Amino acid sequence: MMLKKELLDILVCTKCKGELIFKDSLECRKCGLRYKILNGGIPDMLLEHAEKFL
């Protein structure tokens, strides 16, 4: 599933405001959090739902 470029351009990490990289989810290389993409292509940007990946 792809996210629109316009959406990726404005989204930032909820915790550190770092740039997000899209893979299967949205990943912040700055603080190491991963945000899931829900059904329908909606990013779950709630900090309490984010997972540590680094």
pLDDT exceeds cutoff 70 at 1: no
Number of domains present in the structure of the chain = 1
**pLDDT tens-digit readout, 13-31:** 999 999 999 989 999 999 9
pTM of the model: 0.89
* CATH number of the domain encompassing residue 21: 2.20.25.10
Give the residue numbers spanning the domain of 40.
5-52
| Separation between Cα atoms, residue 31 and residue 42, nearest integer Å | 21
* β-pair partners for 22: 26
